[in-house]
Amino acid sequence: MNKKSLIIGTIFLFIDQISKVLIDTFITHNSTIAIIEGFFSITNIYNTGAAFSILEGNTWLLIVLSFIILFILGTIGKEFKKNNRNAIAFGLLIGGIFGNLSDRLFLGMVRDFLKFKIFGYNFPVFNVADICIVIGVGLLIISIFKGEDCSENNSRDRRTYTIR
């Protein structure tokens, strides 16, 4: 993990927490404000589970999993090449995981508020931390496919062998 990732993570942690405080301050719990009718609204809800409300009510398990994932990210982060994509990816993941982790630790649930209806499907309500996590994972997948998941100092042999 490098300094740039930690700075990015801290910035997005603050953006996530500020957005959640603003929503809690100005929108009553379980209320919805339509921004683009039939497509996008702000809905103040609380979620005791993870994405799509899986593991609902298992807050302590999700807290433990968050710490395990942060430890893994810290460990594998040393193996990735030091470039902007990887710094952003790890920063987004750190900020997003800490954003939802802090909600779980201090509130016992996560505050969600972004709601989209796409082609008639009500997408699950999410928050800024969730966006960070999804984009961070996507960037890491790109890095892995591009072979940037190992540093120059710890490069692995990536030759492919053919069977004759």
Q: Which of 16, 103, 112, 149 is catalytic?
A: 112
Q: Which of 16, 24, 103, 130 is catalytic?
A: 130
Distance between CA atoms of residues 110 and 55, nearest Å: 13
114 contact partners, CB below 8 Å, separation of at least 6:
40, 42, 43, 125, 126, 127, 128, 131
Report CA dihedral (144, 147, 153, 156) to the nearest 10 degrees: 100
Nearest to 63 by CA among 98, 13, 21: 98
Whether 16 is a known active-site residue: answer no
Whether 149 is a known active-site residue: answer no
Q: Count H helices, E strands: the chain?
A: 4, 4
Distance between CA atoms of residues 134 and 142, nearest Å: 12
Nearest to 142 by CA among 93, 92, 85: 85
Query: Crossing angle of helices 84-107/59-76, nearest 10°?
Result: 160
**Known catalytic residues?**
112, 130
